[in-house]
A = this chain, B = another copy of it.
Amino acid sequence: MTNRLNPDRFFSPEPGQRTLAHELYQCAEELPLVCPHGHVDLRLFADPDATFGSPADLFIIPDHYVTRMLYSQGISLESLGVPPSPLAPLSERERGSEGDHRKIWLIFCENFHLFRGTPSGIWLTDELATVFGVDEKPNASNADRLFDTISEKLASPEFSPRSLYERFNIEILCTTDAATDRLEHHQAIHQSVWNRNIRPTFRPDGVVNLDAPNWRANIDKLSEVNDIDVVDYNSFVRALELRREYFKSMGATATDHAALTPATAQLTPAEADAIFQRALKGQFEPGDAARFTAHMLMEMARMSVEDGLVMQLHPGSLRNHNHLIFQKFGLDKGADIPIQTEYTRNLLPLLNKYGNNQRLTLILFTLDETTYSRELAPLAGHYPALKLGPPWWFFDSLNGIARYFDQVMETAGIYNTTGFNDDTRAFCSIPARHDVWRRASANWLAGLVVRHIIDVDDAREMIRELAVGLAKRAYKL
């Protein structure tokens, strides 16, 4: 514990609540990390000799939470070493991505004030202190020294990905994988001496959303990995079922689905096939992609009822809002912007067909916080199949978590929610993210106790549920 990490951080300043929050937090602090949804790159673990690279590789270049904030203040992504899109014109790609990592680190340190009061600021501070023992705020003066300190540590065996995995006390880690992924890195880990509880998640967006980039190529790959020809809707559905079987055999307990909206609607097999055939020929009609996605969400729910995989739905992000950035740098560059999202009517077809069926677990996420109290909590507080995931993306933050507790729990209760998931690519931020959640949970519960809404016995049970119990049960882990 360094100077910069106060043991009471994030708790209410009111002494009674703070003391109790601290006590409740201690019930959860040492529990192992259960990570049922995230985006960690398994190459870090499949190869026993993998390293995190430079401080810029670890903290800046791949983290769009960090680069988008710097970009918003006029710092180019090129100067941050962000690599060009694989689809970018050759001239862009030849530019390369190297940059001088020490210079990138300097830009980051000079601009560390931009992260004041943000969750990125909290995570970065925690990582620097807890993982690397750095308890100074980065700035222009100490940038070089910090770069050297961290580089030195990253080069040592104690800071290899596998070493940190142990140190972080991760019990379960789930990745997110394309339906067409052969899961080679999972296989490598399963077959290694370092056989940790790491599981894939089935994410079929690239083949299910007809407007996904490279959809046609993805379909070819789907044929290839299954060794069957996907030539029509029937063979497509069969291929998906086979992939789900394979993912299950590799340990998957869940699927994950992104969609612009949570619209659901059942097509007839003939309608579905007609749309699919047009898509194969590249002859889209307006609305085809949206209708097909809405239908496939129903199909995915059907398959989940049959094979028991937990279904996650992440709607409401308008991806690649900034076309220039997308063309130059590709996906996931901080230019995905939320839109209003409607659940009550959109989910009606799916919930009427499968919502009363306890073989289905459908976990909903949102980027539209107005739906917490208006739609999601009332839905989750009624349908047996429905549960709510934790605050997502921009809302995985102290205020975001507080709003979630205040707007969801009175109607849904905690037992219709699913605890925490870190949803991150930034492996080293995982402990910091769980710590924020656990502290925020403890503080929320302490607030209920000091106002005599629940008693402290209940609170002690609830903090353990919020930290690990709910996630383990919801994801069947």
A interface residue count range (under 10 / 10 to 19 / 20 to 34 / 35 or more): 35 or more
Q: With contacts A117-B413, A321-B348, A337-B375 known, is A384 near B450, CB below 8 A?
A: no
A68 engages B454 (CB within 8 Å): no
* Measured CA separation A68–B355 after assembly (Å): 13
Which chain B positions have C-beta within 8 A of A137?
A: 455
9 contacts between A and B (CB under 8 A): A12-B14, A14-B14, A71-B384, A321-B344, A336-B378, A339-B374, A339-B375, A370-B370, A399-B410
Which chain B positions have C-beta within 8 A of A17?
A: 13
Q: Give the residue name and chain of the B residue nearest to A379 (CB).
A: B337
B71 engages A382 (CB within 8 Å): yes
A44 within 8 A of B: no
Tally of this chain's copies: 3
Q: Give the residue name and chain of the B residue nearest to A358 (CB).
A: B74
Stretch at the interface among A46-54, A182-190, A273-281, A390-398: A390-398
B71 engages A415 (CB within 8 Å): no
B374 engages A118 (CB within 8 Å): no
A398 engages B453 (CB within 8 Å): yes
**A82-116 interface with B by 8 A CB criterion:** 113-116
Which chain B positions have C-beta within 8 A of A12?
A: 13-14, 451
**A307-353 interface with B by 8 A CB criterion:** 318, 321-325, 334-340, 342, 344-345, 348, 351-352
Minimum C-beta distance from A218 to chain B (A):
26
Query: Which residues of A are in contact with B by a Cβ distance under 8 Å?
Result: 4-6, 8-14, 16-17, 68-69, 71-74, 113-119, 121-122, 137, 318, 321-325, 334-340, 342, 344-345, 348, 351-352, 355-356, 358, 367-370, 373-375, 377-384, 386, 394-395, 397-400, 406-407, 409-416, 447-448, 450-455, 458, 461-462
Which chain B positions have C-beta within 8 A of A340?
A: 342, 370, 374
Minimum C-beta distance from A112 to chain B (A):
10
* Measured CA separation A355–B461 after assembly (Å): 49
Which chain B positions have C-beta within 8 A of A415?
A: 73, 113-114
A324 engages B356 (CB within 8 Å): yes
